[in-house]
Structure 1
Amino acid sequence: MTIDIPEILTRPLRETVAGLANEATREALYGALRARREDVEPVVNAFEARREQSPRTAKGPLNGLPVTVKDQIAAGGWPRTFGLERPSRRADRASATIVARLVELGAEVTGKTALPPNALDFQTFNRRRGRTNNPHDPRFTAGGSSGGGAAAVASGMSLLDIGADLAGSLRLPAAWCGVTSLTPTEDAWPADGMLPGGQRLQHFARIGPIARRVDDLAFLWDCLAGAEAGKETSGSYRIGLWTPDGPAPMEAAARAVWDGFSTRLAATGIAVETDPMRLLFKPESYRLFGEIMGYETGALIPAPIRWLLRRDRSPARRSPGFLAHVHAGYRRDGARHADNLARMAAARREAAARFDGLDALALPVTGLCAFRHLAPSSDRAGVRDYAQRFDTAAGPLFYFDALTRFTVPVTLLGWPVVTLPIGRDANGIPLGVQVVGKPGRERVLLDLCATIETRLPAYSGTER
């Protein structure tokens, strides 16, 4: 599903948008998109809803560019399922600010992409619609929670998807589907429209795009930034490269891909400083993230349900580095939350000082290769647990701890992140790197990642 994509669907967005001003080109693109979805969607299963009607007129600067939106994010005139098994079919009256801005710029929403119930899993499936499959091999997961968007972009069914990330929900699917994603600096983009009733989380949850290449992300960033676009660029870069100084929480196959990337990166001419980055991986980082996340998401959950979730100790026992801390946050202790926020601010200042002089940090997105679809050991209305254990060099890790080992410390920073593919595992499934920039310096980060992408192509062949 990642080969034989019509060329018109793989062009750089800058080129595509320029051509869309022509009605015949616009009709040809939408026709190719419709045909591609009819051919591939029965296998990949990336969508909750689709429309492929070409707009009669184009308005700039995006000229009718077809985009898709994760079905957690409001798009006016489209129902929003949140991945639930019994969703409301009522259409949203208004769009999330980012979606509304894209439509104002001339984009056309052509689909809502799949997610797990309430975006609470790193696989994308529910009983109502089935599972979203990895377009490189349908036997494997596409990741989650933005799995539908990543699979749609990778398979040529979407040119650009608007997804969201909390603990890796953009980064994991992008890595395993072999596409790129941007998680902007916390609060750089409005984060409204992701929760029902106008609610929003104060920290961590961020809207961001998924695209085929870094230049597509940069094009979108520039369109939304307007007159401020492109003012902070640099011709030379210095990267801190995660290099473990002991057993790493990675499977052997994933470590082999990472080591190969590290060797090739050092040969590109980009200045590289190896660093185990122990500061990021302190137990306190996982505690702070989990308790803050639990406190803020707990406000959306009725107290009896929070109590029931905490009463079942088995998920927390299997996930001492993630779910145990989230459940502790469900206690909704205001004084402890205030102290946690102060400690997070101090941790961010410490990281800024520690990594001063570097343009970016490069870390694995995950220590795991994409796996075959897994069934949960328990599923309570979409709140899932898994008994699956993964063997890593640092010891066995259960599902949630294994998948968040590298994402949570980066989320805690609140810094911008670009994910891009770095190679494939023995099953032919991609893996990715998360390149973490400095707060508010997305344009420098995007230019750096475009340089890496150019000097260090992840693949050979037709996929990219």
Structure 2
Amino acid sequence: MTGLAFSTAADIAGRIRRRELGSLEATDYFIERIERLDGEVNAVAVRDFDRAREAARAADRAVEPVGQLHGVPMTVKEGYHLAGLPTTFGYPELKDNTPDWDSDCVARYKAAGAIVLGKTNMAYAGADFQTYNEVYGTTNNPWDLERIPGGSSGGSSAALAAGLTPLEAGSDIGGSIRNPAHFCGVYGHKPTFGIVSQTGHSTMLTPGPATDLVVCGPMARSAEDLTLSLTVVAGPSNLDAPGWRVDLPRPSKQDLADYRVAVWADDGNSPVDHEIAERAASIGETLSRLGARVSDTARPAIDVRGGFETYLELLHSVMAAGVGPEQTEKNQRYAAETEPADRSDRAIMSRAMVLSHAGWLGANGRRERLRYAWREFFEDWDILVCPQMATPAFPHDHSPMQTRTISVNGHSQPYFQQLFWSGLVTGPYLPSTVFPTGLSSGGLPIGLQAVGAAYHDHGTIEFTRLLAQEIGGFQAPPGY
């Protein structure tokens, strides 16, 4: 059992398949770690250990494996429906919001044989770079308990980093898979929009429509596990399944020397810490040394600031759908107070919160033009390497969001300016894999994005798998 804490899901699945390890043995192992170590991290918010053990015993009795994850323990983000357990999104008033059915993603993991140990903590409303709420409290980063694990899938990344689970299911609209992966030094994949069903990732107790920009995706400690997990969950909702299926292109490159890689290390729209920019540049240098074609100036033919504004409009029109009448009235007042010529982030977000359908269609049209521009860019380049966040994990800050700032290279930046690098990718529906690159000078993880053309999800993941052979992959934090 030595080393099981940080084994990959694929390795655990292989050992169970070969009868070298029992599912109950593995399940009990991770339950013991959660009970012993999670008190200070607070990652696994909702525990379902009795049912997990029952499912593990059934897996051990099975004559043949039922799927690729047969007998493998895992956890899922709190925002996914898991029959019999509450789905709150951190809202205290939803503490008894208990579905009697599994989300599509959870059902697919179970159909592949996975054993769900419980659900991990998330940011309130899924709308923060940090993970805390009144229902489950604050989740801490295993690398430094005084710092954030990211959000909104912060419980997911913290559980993986601390060796409390081999595999996780996260979700993303503004970096909620990617920034926790960066802050905790794990892998996270934001799929192309629409290739993984959202059904049951919601507070609604009946199936609802997919939400624009939102994606459900895997988090893990290796690129191999991202591939395995994506293979399990990719596919349309059960409602759409009769009419279409997902058939993603397989990776066409087998060696890093074959890649064409653009490196976007920094940008004036959202400057990043010098150390993060240098790390991105060093990845480019490594790839160039290995024979890859690398450019640090190649960019898509887009108005970068305009593209970010379009993303902010689309994002905040989504967020507005989840607020009550009182907040809607406030949003209308804020929007009315902004000058039409004001293109500050705050003004754009305020107007987007009360955007008309005609206004949304205009933003959607601008997004479509971005999608075509990115498609042209990826005809010449296979991968874009860029930052995910401006800094490594920062200290917890529960002050009002509108007043928060982040210090970057000694300068104060608006808190939500950090959406820039996420929105660059999310707005046009692109896939992105965040991969660990080692530690900062302060001993905190630094992750970067590997972005690819729409639907080339396996290509971005495979790139990070090959890159890990050169620069290394996941590192366990001290003490775990």
Match of 1:374 in 2: 397
1:390-426 CA-to-partner distances (Å, cap 9, x unmatched) read: 2458x6421111x212111111120111000112122
Structure 1: distance between partners of 2:351 and 2:115:
42
Q: 1:252 aligns with which of 274, 286, 289?
A: 274
Q: 1:347 aligns with which of 370, 395, 418?
A: 370
What displacement does 1:253 show?
3.7
Number of residues of Structure 1 aligned to a counterpart in Structure 2: 450
Structure 2: distance between partners of 1:201 and 1:459:
32
Match of 2:361 in 1: 338
Structure 1: distance between partners of 2:6 and 2:320:
42
Moved beyond 6 Å, runs of 4+: 245-248, 459-464
TM-score after normalising by structure 2: 0.85
Q: 1:37 aligns with which of 21, 34, 39?
A: 34
Q: 1:293 aligns with which of 308, 315, 321?
A: 315
1:81-138 CA-to-partner distances (Å, cap 9, x unmatched) read: 2112343224211122121111112112111110121111110012443311111111
What displacement does 1:303 show?
4.1
What displacement does 1:331 show?
1.6
Structure 2: distance between partners of 1:142 and 1:268:
33
Match of 1:233 in 2: 252
What displacement does 1:455 show?
1.5
Using the aligned pairs only, state the percent identity.
24
Contact 1:420–1:434 (CA under 8 A) maintained in structure 2: yes
Structure 2: distance between partners of 1:245 and 1:323:
20
In the TM superposition, 1:294-309 aligns within 5 A as 294-309=316-331
Structure 1: distance between partners of 2:373 and 2:406:
33
Which amino acid in 2 is paired with 1:398?
P
1:252-310 CA-to-partner distances (Å, cap 9, x unmatched) read: 34334334444334333333222263756622112211212222332333344222145
Match of 2:243 in 1: none
Find out whether 1:17 has 2:13 as its counterpart.
yes
Match of 1:129 in 2: 136
Unaligned 5+ runs, structure 2: 60-64, 236-245
Unaligned 5+ runs, structure 1: 379-383
1:298-331 CA-to-partner distances (Å, cap 9, x unmatched) read: 2333344222145458x999x9764532321122
The more displaced of 146-155 and 55-64 is 55-64
Match of 2:304 in 1: 282
Q: RMSD of the TM alignment (CA)?
A: 2.9
Structure 1: distance between partners of 2:157 and 2:343:
29
What displacement does 1:201 show?
4.8
Structure 1 residues 92, 12: CA separation in 2 closer, same or farther (over 3 Å shift)? same
Q: 1:386 aligns with which of 403, 419, 424?
A: 403
1:165-189 CA-to-partner distances (Å, cap 9, x unmatched) read: 0011110000010000111111011
Structure 1 residues 316, 106: CA separation in 2 closer, same or farther (over 3 Å shift)? farther
Contact 2:405–2:412 (CA under 8 A) maintained in structure 1: no
1:168-224 CA-to-partner distances (Å, cap 9, x unmatched) read: 111000001000011111101112222222344542100011100101111222344
TM-score after normalising by structure 1: 0.88
In the TM superposition, 1:75-154 aligns within 5 A as 75-154=82-161
Which amino acid in 2 is paired with 1:96?
S
Q: 1:46 aligns with which of 38, 43, 48?
A: 43
Which amino acid in 2 is paired with 1:161?
E
Match of 2:80 in 1: 73
Match of 1:408 in 2: 423
Contact 2:248–2:456 (CA under 8 A) maintained in structure 1: no
Contact 2:83–2:101 (CA under 8 A) maintained in structure 1: yes
The more displaced of 239-248 and 347-356 is 239-248
Structure 1: distance between partners of 2:45 and 2:32:
17
